[in-house]
Amino acid sequence: MPDLSPVSVEASALSVAALSQTAASEAGGIAGASSRVPEAAGRPETIYLDHLASTPCDPEAAALMHRVAVELSGNPSSPHASGQLAARYVERAREQVADAVNALPEEVVFTSGATESNNLAILGVAAAARERDERRRRLLTLGIEHPSVLGPFAALGRRGYEVESVPLQRDGRVDLNALEGMLEGALLLSIQAANNETGTIQPLYEASPMAAERGVLVHSDAAQILGKVLFSVEGANLDFVSLSAHKCYGPKGVGALCIRGGVASAPLAPIVFGGGHENGVRPGTLNTPAIAAFGLAAELATERLEADGLRIGALRDDLEARLIEELGDRVRVNGAIESRLPHATSLTFFDDAGCPLDADALVANLPEFDLSTASACHVGTPEPSHVLRAIGVSQAEAYGTLRVGLGRGNVDADTGRLSARLGEVTRTLQRRNRIKAKAP
Ligand code: PMP
């Protein structure tokens, strides 16, 4: 019998230490031109405040991943003993992920992350509809969705589907009345569970049944909500739900698509073809170590959900309160205040004259923090955040916005330091703006 019990933190610390030692010796001790791995310089000294972009892997999950990678040679599809042992780890993870979102194990399909899950759900529903000569060609989504949702919809738009954005309220939540009027005759509604920039949580429990009554399939990108706020695939009446491990302290590059009712009867066709893995819907050898770690991380995040949410939510509320006390109306919180992930805040900064400051300059002056001005997925894109623009934030304000994503590793001193430093840096930028304004 395999030992599927979670490894202890001590054991994991040892494994991680052993791993870095091996890496260092393989790299010849010091990084150089001939290094096989980047220099193992230890943890960065910055304070990490970008948990909406990614979370660090839980040490227990990382140690399990290491153990499975090193000790289990088998392909989980192979019938021999090693293969079947690997398959047991995959199936245990399937149960853990299913439990975390109130789904059944047979409803969970493993993927490489939420990007792939979103593509599979959206393109797969359209492909299945084409196969059964479905006449409905209207697709509904929100303008604030992640690019991995907007991208496949745009591709379908180019193939003749009508893609419509459901109007949002000023707080970024979907306008349910408008949605109700748009559902008739639609094939699919994709509505995110929580936003990756503002943390705004959508009213899925109201929106989804409205769609189901009219025979509209519902997909939700739940990458950000897993392990943060209780979430039920069954309770919210969702047909397809995308999940990502690295947003809930699991490894990067692994995720899942939950298909309510299971794959066999789902109105979903594969978009990638190969072997019969995952009931034929997502072929490719399963990434056993990462899947095992995802399962454990999802279970641990669910166990810690309430305590983490309370502690980290209090840190976030305290950060906002301090900033408002310090800066008054020179700072604004974007998106819904109540219906929000506990670790998220989107903050726009202004000068005395009410002009937005430059968030890039803020970040450049705060090198001791890992902070993001917009979604990490948009890095390198000169466009202002489409999420903020879609909720009515002006272009200049969008360029003046910081996204803070707190996490397990953060403590009171981090948010205290951030609010104090933001106070200093905003004052400096304001002074510079004043001098610039006066310059002939
Ligand atoms: N959807 C949302 C809401 C996200 O925040 C992200 C990650 N930025 C993704 C999808 C993509 O997830 P992954 O990195 O697992 O592909």
* Distance (Å) from CA 196 to ligand 1 centroid: 8
Measure CA 86 to chain center.
Answer: 27
Q: Is 401 in the pocket of ligand 1 (CB under 6 A)?
A: no
Q: Which DSSP letter does residue 76 get?
A: T
* Residue carrying the six token digits 């920039």: 197
Annotate 180-204 with three-state secondary structure: HHHCCCEEEEECCCECCCCCEECCH
Ligand 1 test: best mutation among 55, 142, 377, 387, most atoms within 8 Å of CB?
A: 377
258: left (phi over 0), alpha (psi -120 to 50) or beta: beta
* Distance (Å) from CA 114 to ligand 1 centroid: 5
Q: Which DSSP letter does residue 336 get?
A: -
Reduce the DSSP state of residue 177 to 3 states and report it: helix
Pair of tokens at residue 227: 């392990």
Pair of tokens at residue 382: 């000169």
Q: Is 321 in the pocket of ligand 1 (CB under 6 A)?
A: no
Atom of ligand 1 nearest to the CA of 254: 15
Q: 272: which residues sit within 8 A by CB, 6+ positions away? A: 282, 283, 284
Reduce the DSSP state of residue 92 to 3 states and report it: helix
Q: Is 379 in the pocket of ligand 1 (CB under 6 A)?
A: no
Reduce the DSSP state of residue 284 to 3 states and report it: coil
Whole-angstrom distance between the N-terminal and C-terminal Cα of the chain? 79
In the chain, what are the domains? 70-299 (3.40.640.10), 305-438 (3.90.1150.10)
pLDDT tens by residue, the chain, 440 residues: 445 444 443 444 434 444 444 444 444 444 455 678 777 667 778 999 999 999 999 999 999 999 999 999 999 999 999 999 999 999 999 999 999 999 999 999 999 999 999 999 999 999 999 999 999 999 999 999 999 999 999 999 999 999 999 999 999 999 999 999 999 999 999 999 999 999 999 999 999 999 999 999 999 999 999 999 999 999 999 999 999 999 999 999 999 999 999 998 899 999 999 988 999 999 999 999 999 999 999 999 999 999 999 999 999 999 999 999 999 999 999 999 999 999 999 999 999 999 999 999 999 999 999 999 865 555 565 689 999 999 999 999 999 999 999 999 999 999 999 999 999 999 999 888 888 777 77
Instruction: Write the CA distances from 209 to 15, 125, 183, 203, 238, integer angstroms.
Output: 47, 19, 11, 11, 8
- Amino acid identity, position 193: A
CA angle 92, 305, 42 (to 5 degrees): 80
Best CA proximity match to 228, nearest among 407, 61, 92, 56: 407
- Which residue has a Cα nearest atom 15 of ligand 1? 113
pLDDT value, residue 271: 96
Residue 72 · residue 89 · CB < 8 Å: yes
- Distance (Å, whole) CA 312 – CA 409: 10
pLDDT value, residue 439: 76
- Distance (Å, whole) CA 257 – CA 116: 9
Pair of tokens at residue 334: 């974007």
pLDDT value, residue 143: 97
Q: Which DSSP letter does residue 279 get?
A: G
Q: Is 190 in the pocket of ligand 1 (CB under 6 A)?
A: no
Pair of tokens at residue 34: 């001939």
Q: Is 405 in the pocket of ligand 1 (CB under 6 A)?
A: no
- Distance (Å, whole) CA 91 – CA 278: 11
Atom of ligand 1 nearest to the CA of 195: 3
